[in-house]
Amino acid sequence: MGIIVLSAISVSIVYLKSSGDISVLVELKDFAGYASSYITNGVVVNKSELAPLNEIITSYTGYYGVRFSFIGLKVTKENSSEIVIYLGFSHNLNNLTAEENSRIATLLGEFLKNSLKNLRITSLRGDGIYIGEKRIVMNITVNNGWSVIR
């Protein structure tokens, strides 16, 4: 009887760890989709949590509605100490340089990181966001620019 109970507990713990990872990916997808919609609409709302997205609108889109899209995400690396997630975005602002697109990627990363740290299944340690013992690392691309958010 004791062996069966211990087996059930160990299976549950493994399931919960994977479930936490999956929950974070689902939330990250939702946050990225929200960011894209917000930037596409081009309307600035004066809330501190939206400051990075507001900077994208005021500095790069000029308050005009643009086609800003969240392409998708995927886990590119996972081990016991970190989970690396690729997030891709695109837009139709053809006049932006790689440096400007990298700045947009950084601002998106700030918004996503701030959103993740408010989840119950994540924790903030130092300047990093963690799921259990795994640090979340986001590789974000925007057209020809990119940024790594740790």
In the chain, the domains with their CATH numbers are 2-149 (3.30.300)
Question: Looking at the predicted structure, is the pLDDT value of residue 22 above 80?
Answer: yes
Task: Output the six-digit token pair for 23.
Answer: 């929950």
Mean pLDDT in residue range 49-78: 92
| Amino acid occupying residue 93 | L
Mean pLDDT in residue range 122-139: 94
- Residue 140 contacts residue 25 (beta carbons within 8 Å): no
The gap between the terminal CA atoms of the chain, to the nearest Å, is 45
| pLDDT, position 19 | 64
Question: Using CA atoms, how far apart are residues 140 and 102, in angstroms rounded to an integer?
Answer: 9
Which residue matches tokens 């086609």? 67
Q: Is 76 helix (H, G, I), strand (E, B) or coil?
A: strand
- The reported pTM is 0.85
